Amino acid sequence: MPGPRVSIVIPAYNEGTDIVPVLDRLFEAVSLPCEVLVVVDFAEDETIPIVEEYARDELRLRLVVNTYGRGPANAIRFGIDTASAPVTVVTMADGCDDARQIDDLARLVERGVAVAAASRYMAGGQQVGGPYLKGMISKTAGRSLRVFARIGTRDATNSFKAYSTDFVREVGIESRAGFEIGIELTAKARRLRRPVAEIPTIWLDRQAGVSNFRVAQWIPKYFKWYLYAFGPRLTAEQVRARQDRRSLSRATTTETKED
């Protein structure tokens, strides 16, 4: 049988039964052949029994336990590395993203873009609810990046994006903390002069559970990638060399702490 055309990665943390309506909407909306990877950080996560029960009737669904370390960035990294389709879509377990747009985002990547963004800040897009400060910073960053860095989207910070799986594996992911992977990969596409496209989306603040986004903790990590987007053109080899140096630095720091 042919493999999936799109791998959908959903990082989850103790979502429990709140993830059921999210999965219901997703499988109702997506028409492309797909696999859905719900990624958790530890074997005791409350999401696991719910997803395992759901997967008994939905063969496209898989539960995977992240071995890269805790946190959303590591869960997303692990999910993309586990993905088997040529297109990977990252969407959240909180139901804020519109699953009906996954097909359109995936098809943009199939047509040749490296990153396809669901944009809250273009005509037809909207953000409903959520912290005011977070939304204001996100909108300002997105619009300024598009105008001054010509990054290809007004919403570089949104996590709801589709990627060429080969592109992600080519440039690698350096983020290890929060949800800044979206702006990291968009900034890397800009530095490599790979095409980025966007479609409008309506983002709705989660109706159940508690958000795991930490504004004060993660804004500096977003800002690093914001500045990175303004740099000169790079090759994939230069991007990977940077990541290799950072990985070596992390390993050395870890060994020093353990000693």
pLDDT one-digit tens code per residue, 22-50: 999 999 999 999 999 999 999 999 999 99
Give yes or no for a contact between 226 and 145, defined as CB atoms under 8 angstroms apart.
Answer: yes
* pLDDT above 60 (res 209): no
In tens, the pLDDT along 48-79 reads 999 999 999 999 999 999 999 999 999 999 99
Interaxial angle between packed helices 215-228 and 181-191, expressed in degrees from 0 to 180 and rounded to the nearest 10: 10
Going from N- to C-terminal start, the domains of the chain cover 6-258
* pLDDT above 70 (res 212): no
Give yes or no for a contact between 62 and 37, defined as CB atoms under 8 angstroms apart.
Answer: yes
Class of domain 6-258: alpha beta
* pLDDT above 90 (res 253): no
Lowest mean pLDDT among 12-16, 112-116, 241-245: 241-245
Cα(66)–Cα(68) distance, integer angstroms? 6
Residue 227, SS3 per DSSP: helix
Cα(177)–Cα(195) distance, integer angstroms? 26
* pLDDT above 80 (res 206): no
* pLDDT above 90 (res 7): yes
Cα angle: 107, vertex 110, 111; to 5 degrees: 90
Give yes or no for a contact between 96 and 205, defined as CB atoms under 8 angstroms apart.
Answer: yes
